[in-house]
Structure 1
C-alpha cells in the first residue's frame, strides 16, 4: 500500500510541477510582452492581476515537488552531531510539525476560498474570480502535507526519504 501511495505522490507532484513550470513560463512571456508593449504602445491589460494569479499557482504547485527533491532549506548542521536514533526522532518530530502546519494552511486557505466563492469576489481589471487560485494553493499545501506524511512513515521504518525515480 505504501508503494502505491508513494508512486501516487510522485505522479501528483510531477503534474503539479509541470503546471507550475507552465505558469512560470507564462509569467515570463507576459512580463516581456508587457515591457515591449509598454515601450511601443500601451501596456497589456491586467498584467499585475495575472502575474499575481500565476505566481500563486507557481508557488503552491511547486511545494510537493520541492520536498521530493529536498530543494527546501533544511537546517541539518546541528542534527548531524546527534546519534542516528536521535536524528530519526528529530526528523519525525520536525516532519510531523511541518505536516500539521501544511494541513492547517490547506484548511485555512480552503476556508478563505469558500468565503471568496460565496462573496463572488473578482479582480478589478479583468473580472477573473479569485477563488480558483486560492483553491489551487490549498491543493498545493495538501500535496506538500502528503509528501511530508510519507517521509515520516519512511523515517519511522528506517528508510531513506521518498525520492522520485
Structure 2
C-alpha cells in the first residue's frame, strides 16, 4: 500500500514539476520579449503582473518534487547525537506537522480562490481573472501535503531504523 502511495506521490510531483518547467520557460520568454520590445518600441503591458502569477505557480508546483528529493534545508546537527529511534520519531513528527500546515494552507488558499471566482475579481493591470493561478498554488500546497503524509507513513513503517 505504501509503495502505491509513494508511486502516486512521485507521479504527481513529476507532473507538477513538468508544468512548473513550462511556466518557467513561459516566464523567460515573456521577460525576453518585454526587454526586446522595450528597446525597440514599447514594453508589454502587464508583464510584471504575469511574472508574479507565473512565479507563484512555479514555486508552488516545485514544492512536492523538492520534498521527494529532500532538497529542502534540514538542520540535523542536534539530532545527529540522538539515538536512531529518536531521530526517526522526530522526522515523522516533523513530516506530520508540515503535512498539517500545508494541508491547511492548501485548503485556505482554495477557499480564497473560490471567493475570487464568486466575486469575479480581476487583476489590476490586465483585467484578467487570476483565480486559476490561486487554485494552482493551492494544488501545489496540497500536493506537498500528500508527499509529506506519504513520507510520514514511510518513516513510521520502515523496517530498519535509520
> Structure 1-normalised TM-score?
0.93
3-state SS, counterpart of residue 129 of structure 1: coil
Matched, 1:105 2:105: yes
Unaligned segments of structure 2, at least 5 residues: none
Instruction: Give RMSD over aligned pairs.
Output: 1.2
Q: Which residue of 2 aligns with 1:9?
A: 9
Cα distance in 2 for partners of 1:20, 1:54 equals: 9
- Equivalence for 1:36: 36
Q: Quote the residue 1:62 is aligned against.
A: 62
In 2: Cα distance, 1:159 partner to 1:13 partner: 25
Instruction: Point out 4+ residue stretches in structure 1 off by more than 4 angstroms.
Output: none
Higher RCO structure (Cα 8 Å, ≥6 apart): 2
Distance, in Å, in 1 between the alignment partners of 2:30 and 2:66 is 25
1:140 is aligned to 140
Rounded Cα–Cα distance in structure 2 between residues aligned with 1:17 and 1:127: 28
How far, CA to CA, are the matches of 1:88 and 1:114 in structure 2? 38
Q: What corresponds to 1:163 in structure 2?
A: none
Contact 2:2 2:154 in 1 (8 A): no
> Bigger CA drift: 151-160 or 18-27?
151-160
Deviates more, 1:10-19 or 1:117-126: 117-126
Following superposition, the deviation at residue 48 of structure 1 comes to 1.1
**Matched positions, count:** 160
Please show how residues 47-86 of structure 1 align to structure 2 within 5 Å: 47-86=47-86
Unaligned stretches of 5+ residues in structure 1: 161-165
Q: What is the DSSP-based 3-state SS (H/G/I as helix, E as strand, rest coil) of the residue aligned with 1:7?
A: helix
Q: Provide closer, same or farther for how the CA distance between residues 159 and 35 of structure 1 changes in structure 2, counting only shifts above 3 A.
A: farther
- For normalisation by structure 2, the TM-score amounts to 0.94
- How far residue 67 of structure 1 moved from its aligned partner, in angstroms, is 0.3
